[in-house]
DNA sequence: CGCGAGTGTGTACGAACGTACACTCGCTGT
DNA sequence: ACAGCGAGTGTACGTTCGTACACACTCGCG
């Protein structure tokens, strides 16, 4: 789409595409979300980003480089959202509600983020290069939490958010847990909120 | 090793190897732990298990089947350990200490379990077939916790253990967090224990 | 207006993959 | 003793992968 002023003979405007690198990174995230890191290849990403295969090795030094950059972008984006939500909370009560909202939204929200998080964690569990990304992500999350909670609580809260986000999709039902829709049986939404609210209220700051 | 009465002409005793299936499954787990699901192939597993390549498709219906069986074994083993530890706790205080021990051991213990857990989670995040494995694992963990804690606390505790296990390796240092050895700087062991102890003590049963 | 420089592309190659399938050979029944 | 059967194996094929590299095409400059 939007092939506005493409020179007629050529495949694509050669020089007039400065954000192709960005498009490749985004396409890489989409492919990873859809097929996993295991199923991600230069060819699939190139096809999704609508760039020639040769551009892969031209812009990135191999798959690791691309994945590192893609997951850095992903972690930054999630981290930004988290930080913004925490910054918007005026007091401790609002911060607690924000934590609840984050959990509920990350849990029942898009599958994409959950899948990408797992893929990143898996990479980070093995390769130290990716651990820098997750470490930075966690540092920002914890710093954001420490605006409202004391460091120990922030540490535990961060871990709890992680754990609830990860385990929640498996508990409601074996089928796809994506959309809410299961409001009639109140188990997930009905139980998660009060429990994590209780946990968040454990110890407060100031 | 132990090539006791192998017929001289043949590669291996043909019929006298009834636990080859088991060996393949174990080898699969080792390969996954070492190279990730992405880097696991029939050939690598066959080489590690010292069985011919043809045996892969003979004993398992493709890679998915093998992975499913391997991760089922892994989850069962971890789950057994968890359950046993919980069953051995005589009262609530001992249970809390057991939870602390589980966290510390899973966190600072072998990298292998952490990597395998992540690989399983990643698979489960995308494919429902693997979700059954994680769902069963979590159900057992929670049931074990409910021997000592009320259901809501058990739910949160389970998530907290998961979250701490996952996030703890990233917080101490960018280098390998495998061996303890870092008892001199008390940061990881010194901070994780009191915080999760505090969290576990939130609400008690009976 | 022509031409070098260098950015970006198409293609081809070697390696590794999963899987099918013809075949071997140890065991068993007679 | 030996024939037959089926559990188990080796190999070969088609596909897909990452990467290297010769080449096209654009742009700026003289």
Two structure tokens written together for A35: 């097929």
Between CA B14 and CA B18 the distance in angstroms is: 9
Q: Which CATH number fits domain A71-200: 1.10.357.10, 3.20.20.70, 3.40.50.2300, 3.40.50.300?
A: 1.10.357.10
- Tell whether the torsion through CA atoms of B20, B46, B124 and B71 is positive or negative: positive
A15-44 average pLDDT score: 90
B27-32 average pLDDT score: 97
Q: Where in chain A is the domain with CATH 1.10.357.10?
A: 71-200
**DSSP structural state of residue A38:** T
Residue A188 has pLDDT above 70, yes or no: no
Strand D, nucleotides covered by protein (CB < 7 Å):
7-12, 16-21, 25-27
- Residues of chain A above pLDDT 90, percent: 59
A36-47 average pLDDT score: 96
Superfamily of domain B91-200: Tetracycline Repressor, domain 2 (1.10.357.10)
- Identify the CA nearest to B63 among candidates B28, B30, B18: B28
Judge if the beta carbon of A159 is closer than 7 A to nucleic acid strand D: no
The per-residue pLDDT of chain A, averaged, comes to 79
Residue A176 has pLDDT above 80, yes or no: no
Between CA B160 and CA A156 the distance in angstroms is: 8
B187 touches chain A (CB under 8 A): no
Tens of pLDDT along B65-89? 999 999 999 999 999 999 999 999 9
Between CA B95 and CA B107 the distance in angstroms is: 18
The A residues from 88 to 147 touching B (CB cutoff 8 Å) are: 111, 114-115, 118-119, 121-122, 124-126, 128, 131-132, 134-135, 138
CB-neighbour burial class of residue A4 (10 A; exposed 0-12, middle 13-18, buried 19+)? exposed
Query: In angstroms, how far is D27 C1' from A35 CA?
Result: 40
Tens of pLDDT along A112-155? 999 999 999 999 999 999 999 999 999 999 999 999 999 999 99
Residue of A nearest to B32 (CA): A126
Tens of pLDDT along B88-107? 999 999 999 999 888 888 76
Confidence band (pLDDT; 50, 70, 90) for A179? very low
Tens of pLDDT along B145-186? 999 999 999 999 999 998 888 887 776 543 443 433 333 333
CB within 8 Å: A167 and B162: yes
Query: In angstroms, how far is D28 C1' from A61 CA?
Result: 29
* Residue A117 or A172, more confident: A117
* Residue B25 or A102, more confident: B25
Three-state DSSP class for residue A7: coil
CB A160 within 8 A of CB B202: no
CB within 8 Å: B131 and A171: no
CB within 8 Å: B163 and A161: yes
Two structure tokens written together for B64: 């998915």
Q: Determine the pLDDT at residue B105.
A: 80
Q: Determine the pLDDT at residue A106.
A: 72
Residue of B nearest to A35 (CA): B126
Architecture per CATH, domain A17-60, reads as Orthogonal Bundle (1.10)
Residue A187 has pLDDT above 80, yes or no: no
Tens of pLDDT along B109-152? 778 999 999 999 999 999 999 999 999 999 999 999 999 999 99
* Residue B3 or A78, more confident: A78
* Residue B15 or B139, more confident: B139
């Amino acid at each position: 789409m939007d092939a506005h002023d493409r020179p007629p003979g050529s495949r694509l405007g050669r020089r007039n595409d400065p954000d192709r690198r960005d498009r490749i990174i985004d396409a890489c995230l989409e492919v990873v979300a859809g097929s996993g890191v295991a199923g991600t290849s230069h060819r699939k990403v190139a096809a999704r980003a609508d760039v020639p295969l040769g551009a892969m090795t031209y812009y990135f030094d191999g798959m690791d480089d691309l994945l590192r950059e893609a997951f850095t972008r992903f972690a930054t984006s999630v981290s930004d959202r988290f930080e913004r939500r925490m910054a918007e909370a005026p007091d401790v009560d609002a911060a607690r509600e924000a934590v609840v909202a984050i959990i509920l939204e990350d849990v029942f929200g898009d599958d994409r983020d959950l899948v990408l998080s797992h893929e990143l964690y898996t990479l980070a569990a093995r390769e130290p290069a990716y651990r820098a990304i997750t470490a930075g992500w966690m540092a920002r999350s914890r710093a954001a939490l420490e605006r409202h909670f004391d460091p120990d609580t922030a540490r535990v809260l961060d871990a709890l958010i992680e754990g609830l986000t990860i385990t929640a999709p498996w508990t409601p039902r074996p089928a796809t847990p994506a959309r809410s829709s299961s409001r009639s049986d109140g188990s997930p939404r009905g139980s998660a909120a009060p429990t994590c609210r209780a946990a968040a209220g454990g110890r407060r700051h100031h």
